[in-house]
Amino acid sequence: MRFIVSTSTLLKQLQSVSGALSNSTVLPILENFLFEIKDGNLTISATDLQTSMTTSLTVEAKENGRIAIPSRILLETLKSLPEQPVTFSVDDSTFAIEISAGDGKYKLSGENGEDFPKIPVVENASSVNLPASVLAEAINKTIFAVSNDELRPAMTGVFCQLTTDSLTFVATDAHKLVRYRRKDAKAAATTSFILPKKALTLLKSALPTDDVNVSVEYNSTSAFFKFGNINMVCRLIDERYPDYEAVIPLNNPNKLSIDRQAFLGSLSRVAIYANKTTHQVRLKINGSELNISSEDIDFANEAHERLSCQYEGDDMEIGFNARFLIEMLKNLACEEVSLEMSTPNRAGLLLPQGGDENEDVLMLVMPVMLNSYA
Protein backbone atom coordinates (compact mmCIF):
# COMPACT_ATOMS: atom_id res chain seq x y z
CA MET A 1 0.00 0.00 0.00
CA ARG A 2 1.38 3.40 -0.95
CA PHE A 3 -0.01 6.92 -0.69
CA ILE A 4 1.17 10.55 -0.92
CA VAL A 5 -0.14 13.43 1.21
CA SER A 6 1.03 16.89 2.33
CA THR A 7 2.61 17.09 5.81
CA SER A 8 0.52 20.02 7.07
CA THR A 9 -2.80 18.60 5.81
CA LEU A 10 -2.13 15.23 7.41
CA LEU A 11 -0.87 16.75 10.69
CA LYS A 12 -3.95 18.97 11.00
CA GLN A 13 -6.29 15.98 10.58
CA LEU A 14 -4.30 13.81 13.01
CA GLN A 15 -4.34 16.54 15.66
CA SER A 16 -8.11 16.94 15.29
CA VAL A 17 -8.69 13.32 16.38
CA SER A 18 -5.62 12.63 18.56
CA GLY A 19 -7.50 13.48 21.78
CA ALA A 20 -9.38 10.19 21.49
CA LEU A 21 -6.16 8.13 21.67
CA SER A 22 -5.58 5.92 24.70
CA ASN A 23 -2.38 5.14 26.64
CA SER A 24 -3.69 1.65 27.29
CA THR A 25 -1.13 -0.89 28.43
CA VAL A 26 -3.79 -3.61 28.20
CA LEU A 27 -4.52 -2.89 24.52
CA PRO A 28 -1.38 -1.30 23.02
CA ILE A 29 -3.07 -0.97 19.61
CA LEU A 30 -5.15 1.90 21.09
CA GLU A 31 -1.96 4.01 21.00
CA ASN A 32 -2.16 3.84 17.18
CA PHE A 33 -4.07 5.73 14.52
CA LEU A 34 -5.96 3.50 12.10
CA PHE A 35 -5.36 4.54 8.48
CA GLU A 36 -7.87 3.17 5.96
CA ILE A 37 -7.61 3.98 2.26
CA LYS A 38 -10.49 3.45 -0.10
CA ASP A 39 -10.66 4.91 -3.61
CA GLY A 40 -8.17 7.70 -2.84
CA ASN A 41 -9.89 8.68 0.41
CA LEU A 42 -7.94 8.28 3.67
CA THR A 43 -10.00 7.78 6.84
CA ILE A 44 -8.10 8.20 10.14
CA SER A 45 -9.54 6.80 13.38
CA ALA A 46 -8.53 7.03 17.04
CA THR A 47 -10.31 5.46 20.02
CA ASP A 48 -10.03 4.64 23.72
CA LEU A 49 -13.07 2.30 23.43
CA GLN A 50 -15.29 4.86 25.22
CA THR A 51 -14.82 7.71 22.75
CA SER A 52 -13.85 7.41 19.08
CA MET A 53 -13.07 10.07 16.48
CA THR A 54 -12.63 9.75 12.73
CA THR A 55 -11.71 12.22 10.03
CA SER A 56 -11.08 11.87 6.30
CA LEU A 57 -9.07 13.52 3.55
CA THR A 58 -8.20 12.92 -0.08
CA VAL A 59 -4.76 11.44 -0.83
CA GLU A 60 -2.90 10.20 -3.88
CA ALA A 61 -3.24 6.41 -3.76
CA LYS A 62 -3.66 3.56 -6.22
CA GLU A 63 -4.46 0.72 -3.77
CA ASN A 64 -6.89 0.30 -0.92
CA GLY A 65 -5.75 -0.99 2.48
CA ARG A 66 -5.57 -0.41 6.22
CA ILE A 67 -2.73 -0.13 8.73
CA ALA A 68 -2.41 0.90 12.40
CA ILE A 69 0.42 3.48 12.80
CA PRO A 70 2.00 4.41 16.18
CA SER A 71 0.60 7.86 17.01
CA ARG A 72 3.38 9.46 19.04
CA ILE A 73 6.24 8.88 16.59
CA LEU A 74 4.06 9.85 13.61
CA LEU A 75 2.90 13.13 15.19
CA GLU A 76 6.42 14.07 16.28
CA THR A 77 7.82 13.33 12.79
CA LEU A 78 5.18 15.42 11.00
CA LYS A 79 5.56 18.32 13.45
CA SER A 80 9.29 18.50 12.71
CA LEU A 81 8.95 18.35 8.91
CA PRO A 82 8.46 21.44 6.72
CA GLU A 83 5.42 21.66 4.44
CA GLN A 84 6.02 19.14 1.63
CA PRO A 85 4.53 15.98 0.12
CA VAL A 86 5.31 12.80 2.07
CA THR A 87 5.05 9.27 0.73
CA PHE A 88 3.96 6.39 2.94
CA SER A 89 4.92 2.89 1.75
CA VAL A 90 3.43 0.01 3.74
CA ASP A 91 4.48 -3.64 3.49
CA ASP A 92 1.13 -5.45 3.72
CA SER A 93 2.72 -8.67 5.03
CA THR A 94 5.08 -7.32 7.75
CA PHE A 95 3.27 -3.99 8.47
CA ALA A 96 6.60 -2.16 8.13
CA ILE A 97 6.09 1.50 7.22
CA GLU A 98 8.54 3.75 5.36
CA ILE A 99 7.94 7.49 5.26
CA SER A 100 9.83 9.43 2.56
CA ALA A 101 9.98 13.21 2.79
CA GLY A 102 12.42 15.21 0.65
CA ASP A 103 15.86 13.72 1.33
CA GLY A 104 14.73 11.85 4.46
CA LYS A 105 13.56 8.29 4.96
CA TYR A 106 11.97 7.12 8.23
CA LYS A 107 11.07 3.53 9.05
CA LEU A 108 8.73 2.33 11.77
CA SER A 109 6.63 -0.72 12.58
CA GLY A 110 2.88 -0.62 12.29
CA GLU A 111 0.25 -3.15 13.31
CA ASN A 112 -2.40 -5.08 11.43
CA GLY A 113 -5.32 -2.73 10.79
CA GLU A 114 -7.69 -5.71 11.11
CA ASP A 115 -6.83 -5.90 14.83
CA PHE A 116 -7.98 -2.32 15.46
CA PRO A 117 -11.28 -2.15 17.43
CA LYS A 118 -14.37 -1.56 15.32
CA ILE A 119 -15.66 2.02 15.54
CA PRO A 120 -19.37 1.95 16.56
CA VAL A 121 -21.88 2.91 13.88
CA VAL A 122 -25.25 4.60 14.25
CA GLU A 123 -28.16 2.21 14.76
CA ASN A 124 -31.78 3.01 15.71
CA ALA A 125 -30.80 6.60 16.42
CA SER A 126 -32.82 9.78 16.81
CA SER A 127 -31.22 13.03 15.75
CA VAL A 128 -31.13 16.76 16.38
CA ASN A 129 -29.21 19.48 14.50
CA LEU A 130 -27.44 22.30 16.31
CA PRO A 131 -25.27 25.23 15.20
CA ALA A 132 -21.67 24.64 16.36
CA SER A 133 -21.79 27.92 18.35
CA VAL A 134 -24.80 26.75 20.40
CA LEU A 135 -23.17 23.42 21.21
CA ALA A 136 -19.85 25.09 22.08
CA GLU A 137 -21.61 27.56 24.36
CA ALA A 138 -23.53 24.77 26.10
CA ILE A 139 -20.29 22.88 26.74
CA ASN A 140 -18.38 25.97 27.93
CA LYS A 141 -21.15 27.00 30.31
CA THR A 142 -21.50 23.57 31.95
CA ILE A 143 -18.32 21.50 31.75
CA PHE A 144 -16.54 23.33 34.60
CA ALA A 145 -19.27 22.24 37.03
CA VAL A 146 -18.99 18.51 36.25
CA SER A 147 -17.95 16.29 39.18
CA ASN A 148 -14.72 14.27 39.22
CA ASP A 149 -16.11 11.88 41.83
CA GLU A 150 -15.96 8.39 40.29
CA LEU A 151 -18.18 7.08 43.10
CA ARG A 152 -21.04 9.14 41.65
CA PRO A 153 -20.66 8.34 37.94
CA ALA A 154 -23.87 10.10 36.88
CA MET A 155 -22.38 13.44 37.95
CA THR A 156 -19.14 12.95 35.97
CA GLY A 157 -20.96 13.98 32.79
CA VAL A 158 -23.35 16.63 31.47
CA PHE A 159 -27.04 15.75 31.60
CA CYS A 160 -28.84 16.57 28.34
CA GLN A 161 -32.62 16.95 28.31
CA LEU A 162 -34.17 17.23 24.86
CA THR A 163 -37.79 18.27 24.51
CA THR A 164 -40.02 19.48 21.70
CA ASP A 165 -39.56 23.12 22.74
CA SER A 166 -36.05 23.39 24.24
CA LEU A 167 -32.70 21.73 24.97
CA THR A 168 -31.30 21.74 28.52
CA PHE A 169 -27.75 20.93 29.64
CA VAL A 170 -27.05 20.41 33.36
CA ALA A 171 -23.84 19.83 35.32
CA THR A 172 -23.27 19.58 39.08
CA ASP A 173 -20.68 18.40 41.59
CA ALA A 174 -23.03 18.81 44.61
CA HIS A 175 -21.35 22.14 45.54
CA LYS A 176 -22.33 24.03 42.41
CA LEU A 177 -24.84 23.45 39.63
CA VAL A 178 -25.31 24.94 36.17
CA ARG A 179 -28.46 24.66 34.08
CA TYR A 180 -28.09 25.94 30.51
CA ARG A 181 -31.24 26.01 28.41
CA ARG A 182 -31.71 26.91 24.74
CA LYS A 183 -35.19 27.90 23.62
CA ASP A 184 -34.16 28.15 19.94
CA ALA A 185 -33.19 24.47 19.65
CA LYS A 186 -35.53 21.51 19.96
CA ALA A 187 -35.86 17.80 19.31
CA ALA A 188 -38.60 15.79 17.64
CA ALA A 189 -39.24 13.79 20.83
CA THR A 190 -38.51 14.10 24.54
CA THR A 191 -35.49 12.19 25.82
CA SER A 192 -32.47 12.55 28.11
CA PHE A 193 -28.96 11.14 28.42
CA ILE A 194 -25.61 11.84 30.13
CA LEU A 195 -22.58 12.77 28.00
CA PRO A 196 -19.16 11.99 29.55
CA LYS A 197 -16.75 14.83 30.30
CA LYS A 198 -13.89 13.55 28.11
CA ALA A 199 -16.10 13.43 25.01
CA LEU A 200 -17.32 16.98 25.65
CA THR A 201 -13.75 18.23 26.17
CA LEU A 202 -12.73 16.69 22.82
CA LEU A 203 -15.81 18.11 21.14
CA LYS A 204 -15.10 21.56 22.55
CA SER A 205 -11.60 21.63 21.03
CA ALA A 206 -12.69 20.06 17.72
CA LEU A 207 -15.72 22.26 16.99
CA PRO A 208 -14.98 24.80 14.25
CA THR A 209 -15.21 28.53 14.92
CA ASP A 210 -17.36 29.13 11.85
CA ASP A 211 -20.97 28.30 12.53
CA VAL A 212 -21.36 24.96 10.79
CA ASN A 213 -24.24 22.65 11.51
CA VAL A 214 -23.57 19.78 13.93
CA SER A 215 -25.64 16.64 13.53
CA VAL A 216 -26.19 14.93 16.89
CA GLU A 217 -27.55 11.38 16.73
CA TYR A 218 -28.22 9.29 19.82
CA ASN A 219 -29.57 5.92 20.84
CA SER A 220 -29.76 4.15 24.21
CA THR A 221 -25.99 3.56 24.45
CA SER A 222 -24.12 6.13 22.37
CA ALA A 223 -24.13 9.65 20.95
CA PHE A 224 -22.73 10.51 17.51
CA PHE A 225 -21.56 13.96 16.45
CA LYS A 226 -20.86 14.90 12.82
CA PHE A 227 -19.51 18.20 11.51
CA GLY A 228 -17.24 19.02 8.59
CA ASN A 229 -15.19 15.90 7.95
CA ILE A 230 -15.08 14.88 11.62
CA ASN A 231 -17.20 12.16 13.23
CA MET A 232 -17.16 11.47 16.94
CA VAL A 233 -18.97 8.74 18.85
CA CYS A 234 -19.04 8.35 22.63
CA ARG A 235 -20.59 5.85 24.99
CA LEU A 236 -23.25 7.44 27.22
CA ILE A 237 -23.02 7.22 31.01
CA ASP A 238 -25.56 4.56 31.92
CA GLU A 239 -26.78 6.03 35.22
CA ARG A 240 -29.77 7.89 36.57
CA TYR A 241 -29.11 11.63 36.93
CA PRO A 242 -30.09 13.16 40.31
CA ASP A 243 -33.26 15.25 40.44
CA TYR A 244 -31.52 18.60 40.01
CA GLU A 245 -34.77 20.62 39.88
CA ALA A 246 -35.44 19.67 43.52
CA VAL A 247 -32.35 21.54 44.76
CA ILE A 248 -33.07 24.83 42.97
CA PRO A 249 -34.70 27.14 45.55
CA LEU A 250 -37.79 28.82 44.16
CA ASN A 251 -38.39 31.57 46.70
CA ASN A 252 -35.41 33.95 46.92
CA PRO A 253 -36.55 37.35 48.21
CA ASN A 254 -33.04 38.79 48.67
CA LYS A 255 -31.75 39.98 45.29
CA LEU A 256 -28.33 41.54 44.72
CA SER A 257 -27.50 43.12 41.32
CA ILE A 258 -23.88 44.02 40.61
CA ASP A 259 -21.36 44.63 37.82
CA ARG A 260 -19.91 41.22 36.91
CA GLN A 261 -16.33 42.36 36.28
CA ALA A 262 -16.17 44.45 39.48
CA PHE A 263 -17.55 41.54 41.53
CA LEU A 264 -15.13 39.09 39.87
CA GLY A 265 -12.11 41.36 40.41
CA SER A 266 -12.97 41.98 44.04
CA LEU A 267 -13.55 38.27 44.78
CA SER A 268 -10.29 37.31 43.03
CA ARG A 269 -8.26 39.71 45.20
CA VAL A 270 -10.00 38.93 48.49
CA ALA A 271 -9.73 35.16 47.84
CA ILE A 272 -5.92 35.44 47.93
CA TYR A 273 -6.21 36.06 51.68
CA ALA A 274 -8.76 33.31 52.37
CA ASN A 275 -8.08 30.00 54.09
CA LYS A 276 -6.38 27.72 51.56
CA THR A 277 -8.60 24.76 52.53
CA THR A 278 -12.05 26.35 52.62
CA HIS A 279 -11.46 29.33 50.26
CA GLN A 280 -14.21 30.99 52.30
CA VAL A 281 -15.29 34.56 51.58
CA ARG A 282 -17.95 36.44 53.50
CA LEU A 283 -20.51 38.62 51.72
CA LYS A 284 -22.14 41.20 53.99
CA ILE A 285 -24.92 43.21 52.37
CA ASN A 286 -26.26 46.41 53.95
CA GLY A 287 -28.57 48.50 51.77
CA SER A 288 -26.68 49.30 48.56
CA GLU A 289 -23.30 48.27 49.92
CA LEU A 290 -21.61 44.89 49.55
CA ASN A 291 -18.66 44.09 51.81
CA ILE A 292 -16.50 41.16 50.74
CA SER A 293 -14.01 39.84 53.26
CA SER A 294 -11.82 36.83 53.96
CA GLU A 295 -9.47 35.71 56.69
CA ASP A 296 -6.85 33.04 57.22
CA ILE A 297 -6.35 32.88 60.99
CA ASP A 298 -3.35 30.53 60.74
CA PHE A 299 -1.28 33.15 58.89
CA ALA A 300 -2.99 36.32 60.22
CA ASN A 301 -4.05 37.20 56.65
CA GLU A 302 -7.22 39.15 55.98
CA ALA A 303 -8.77 41.26 53.24
CA HIS A 304 -11.80 43.54 52.95
CA GLU A 305 -13.32 45.25 49.93
CA ARG A 306 -16.44 47.32 49.50
CA LEU A 307 -18.56 47.53 46.36
CA SER A 308 -21.71 49.45 45.57
CA CYS A 309 -24.64 47.36 44.36
CA GLN A 310 -28.39 47.33 43.97
CA TYR A 311 -30.09 45.22 46.60
CA GLU A 312 -33.66 44.31 47.50
CA GLY A 313 -34.25 42.39 50.71
CA ASP A 314 -33.12 42.12 54.32
CA ASP A 315 -29.52 42.84 55.30
CA MET A 316 -27.67 39.57 55.36
CA GLU A 317 -24.34 37.82 55.74
CA ILE A 318 -23.51 34.68 53.80
CA GLY A 319 -20.35 32.66 53.15
CA PHE A 320 -19.29 31.06 49.87
CA ASN A 321 -16.31 29.15 48.50
CA ALA A 322 -14.65 31.92 46.47
CA ARG A 323 -13.32 29.51 43.85
CA PHE A 324 -16.84 28.45 42.89
CA LEU A 325 -18.12 32.01 42.55
CA ILE A 326 -15.04 33.08 40.55
CA GLU A 327 -15.40 30.12 38.19
CA MET A 328 -19.06 30.91 37.59
CA LEU A 329 -18.49 34.61 36.99
CA LYS A 330 -15.69 33.82 34.51
CA ASN A 331 -18.05 31.57 32.55
CA LEU A 332 -20.64 34.30 32.10
CA ALA A 333 -20.28 37.01 29.47
CA CYS A 334 -22.88 39.55 30.64
CA GLU A 335 -22.15 42.96 32.15
CA GLU A 336 -24.45 42.61 35.16
CA VAL A 337 -25.29 39.58 37.31
CA SER A 338 -27.80 39.06 40.07
CA LEU A 339 -27.29 36.88 43.12
CA GLU A 340 -30.60 35.68 44.54
CA MET A 341 -30.69 34.30 48.10
CA SER A 342 -33.18 33.31 50.77
CA THR A 343 -31.21 32.54 53.97
CA PRO A 344 -27.47 32.12 54.77
CA ASN A 345 -27.80 28.32 54.84
CA ARG A 346 -29.67 27.91 51.54
CA ALA A 347 -28.18 27.83 48.03
CA GLY A 348 -27.70 31.12 46.18
CA LEU A 349 -28.57 31.57 42.49
CA LEU A 350 -26.25 33.47 40.17
CA LEU A 351 -28.09 34.71 37.08
CA PRO A 352 -26.86 36.79 34.12
CA GLN A 353 -28.77 40.01 33.40
CA GLY A 354 -29.70 40.80 29.78
CA GLY A 355 -28.05 38.81 26.99
CA ASP A 356 -29.52 36.43 24.42
CA GLU A 357 -33.27 35.94 24.88
CA ASN A 358 -32.97 32.36 23.55
CA GLU A 359 -30.51 31.48 26.29
CA ASP A 360 -31.52 30.73 29.88
CA VAL A 361 -28.57 30.32 32.28
CA LEU A 362 -28.95 29.46 35.95
CA MET A 363 -25.97 28.84 38.23
CA LEU A 364 -26.45 27.58 41.77
CA VAL A 365 -23.81 27.69 44.50
CA MET A 366 -24.03 26.14 47.96
CA PRO A 367 -23.08 28.40 50.90
CA VAL A 368 -20.42 27.52 53.46
CA MET A 369 -20.84 27.84 57.21
CA LEU A 370 -19.42 31.11 58.41
CA ASN A 371 -16.85 30.93 61.17
CA SER A 372 -17.16 33.48 63.90
CA TYR A 373 -14.65 36.18 63.04
CA ALA A 374 -16.09 39.67 63.09
The angle, 0 to 180 degrees and rounded to 10, between the axes of the packed helices 197-206 and 132-142 is: 130
What Cα–Cα distance (Å) separates residue 256 from each residue in 189, 294, 348?
Answer: 38, 20, 11
Tens digit of each residue's pLDDT (9 = 90 or more) over 105-131? 999 999 999 999 999 988 889 999 999
Residue ranges of the chain whose pLDDT lies below 50: 373-374
Residue type, 359: E
For residues 268 and 144, give the distance between their C-alpha atoms in angstroms, rounded to a whole number: 17
Q: Evaluate whether 2-115 and 248-368 have a shared fold.
A: yes
The pTM for the full model equals 0.92
pLDDT digits (tens, 9 = 90+) for 304-341: 999 999 999 999 999 999 999 999 999 999 999 999 99
Identify the pLDDT of residue 374.
41
Domain boundaries, the chain: 2-115, 126-245, 248-368
User: What's the Cα-to-Cα distance from 142 to each of 136, 147, 217, 265, 363, rounded to whole Å?
Assistant: 10, 11, 20, 22, 9
Q: Where are the alpha helices (DSSP H) in the chain?
A: 7-17, 71-80, 132-142, 197-206, 260-271, 322-330
- pLDDT, residue 26, reads 85
* Third-level CATH fold of 248-368: DNA Polymerase III; Chain A, domain 2 (3.10.150)
Q: Identify the DSSP state of 297.
A: G
What is the pLDDT at residue 371? 67
Please name the residues in contact with 200: beta carbons below 8 A apart, sequence gap of 6 or more: 139, 143, 157, 158
Q: How far is CA 172 from the centre of its chain?
A: 13
Q: Determine the CATH number of domain 2-115.
A: 3.10.150.10
Domain 126-245 carries which CATH code? 3.10.150.10
